[in-house]
Structure 1
Amino acid sequence: MQRASDLFTEEQRKQVEKAVVEAEAKTSCEVVPVVATASGRYDRAEDMIGLWLAVFAAITVWVILPRQANESGNWDGAPFYIGLLAMLAGIMVAFIAGAIAGNRIAWLRRLFTPRNQMREEVSARARQIFFDKRVHHTSGATGMLIYVSLFERMAVVLGDQQVLDKIGQSSLDRLCQLLTDGLRHGEPADAICSVISEAAIQLSGPLPRDERDTNELQDALVLID
């Protein structure tokens, strides 16, 4: 699985930080870009992969292991208890292997995780970070969170009350779409910088920079593994 801390070079991190500084020179909005490795644990996917591999192992053992025939005089095949033990061993090994694979192979875990569940986890995690990183606690209620979750391949843009009042939820949704399009077709750092710049353009009119404004939140790209 791609880790957030490994995705960006030092130069790219400085590129994002510069974009935040330039944006906040135009608007009183406090922009906080965050990239996380994943937003949820998704244990159910590991269990599902293990279960399917266990079923496949049981069928395979049943098919390939010769069993003792009922006919008198035929000693071909293994005794029943040997087949049963082999099947149980195969099921256990396959389940454990599937759970490990589901934990370590991102695309496989994603395949067995419902998209609605991932969307709910990303949304919940973004809102948690919105409060934990104090984006919601700026003096003017002008915080904006730009959140990217790598495992789910989803993004969220959240704005505090003043941001919502001035540009509306539809503008935040368009910024989020711009971000996801950029992530799909280009470098993550470029996509994040692009949406930060666009946010500054949209916010500079309704929420212009004031000489009394102070930088309340860090400008650096936040990476969460």
Structure 2
Amino acid sequence: MALLNQQEQAQVAEAIANVERITDAELVTVLAPQADDYTYIPLLWASILALLLPGAVNYFGQWADIHQLILSQWGGFIALAILFRLPQIQTRLIPRAVRHWRASNLARRQFLEQNLHHTKGETGMLIFVSEAERYVEILVDRGISAKIPDVFWETIVNRFTARVAQNETAQGFIECIASCGEELQRQIPASGEKNELPNHLIILD
């Protein structure tokens, strides 16, 4: 996982500017390194395993010392909690449905926080990416959804998601913006000069 460098961010901003010259849509791009820290999930797994594993050993091995059992459970919990915080392990502990749910919630919050629901003609569009979850979503306001069905964006999102999985997020952004621009130009062509929202890529902390 690698966030975009300055040159790549400039390329994304240029791609947005090019599209906004040919359509009334207002594009905003947001990149999040991760949608959530998921602290509770590694702790939950550590708690379950720390309770079950020593308990199973005690059941089959018949430990005589209850204090030793308790110490092994506490020691196991601490060791597993630290181990499960490693990013390469943590990601595998979190169900895909949970990761996508958290990323989807963040995308919707960003749609509101970036004022995409207040554009003239209701033509705001958010292209959102959360790299850790390999999650891509396109959200549009009513002015766009009235002319372009949501299902249209699915193929574009799938292509972009494949780029993110290959650590080609910058190229994915550029291709996605261009593909969106082609349909936006056909359905919502530019009626005049306007630029209500920032063109630069927004990278969340």
TM-score normalised by the chain length of structure 2: 0.87
1:214 has 2:191 as partner: no
Q: How does 1:158-197 map to 2 (within 5 A)?
A: 158-185=139-166, 187-197=168-178
Structure 1 distance, partners of 2:188, 2:68, is 69
Which structure has the bigger radius of gyration? 1
Q: Deviations over 1:158-211 (max 9, x none)?
A: 111111112111112222122112223451100011000111111011111222
- Cα separation, partners in 2 of 1:186 and 1:151, compared to 1, 3 Å: closer
Q: CA deviation at 1:131?
A: 0.4
Please tell me the residue identity of whatever aligns with 2:78. Answer: I
Give yes or no for contact 1:38–1:151 (8 Å, CA) kept in 2: yes
Q: Deviations over 1:89-122 (max 9, x none)?
A: 22112212322333x3223222222222222222
Match of 2:182 among 194, 201, 212: 201
List alignment gaps of at least 5 residues for structure 2.
none
Structure 2 distance, partners of 1:185, 1:109, is 20
Give yes or no for contact 2:131–2:164 (8 Å, CA) kept in 1: no
Partner-residue secondary structure (3-state), 2:136? strand
Structure 2 counterpart of 1:100: 82
Structure 1 distance, partners of 2:92, 2:162, is 21
More off after superposition, 113-122 vs 193-202: 113-122
Partner-residue secondary structure (3-state), 1:167? coil
Give yes or no for contact 2:3–2:33 (8 Å, CA) kept in 1: no
Question: Aligned pair count?
Answer: 204
Match of 1:156 among 112, 133, 137: 137
More off after superposition, 195-204 vs 173-182: 173-182
Structure 1 counterpart of 2:18: 22
Structure 1 counterpart of 2:33: 37
Among all aligned residue pairs of Structure 1 and Structure 2, give the percentage whose two residues are the same amino acid.
26
Please tell me the residue identity of whatever aligns with 1:222. Answer: I
Structure 2 distance, partners of 1:184, 1:112, is 18
TM-score normalised by the chain length of structure 1: 0.80
Structure 2 distance, partners of 1:130, 1:143, is 9
Structure 2 distance, partners of 1:153, 1:24, is 27
Q: Which runs of 4+ in 1 moved over 6 A?
A: none
Give yes or no for contact 1:61–1:87 (8 Å, CA) kept in 2: no
Structure 1 distance, partners of 2:167, 2:154, is 20
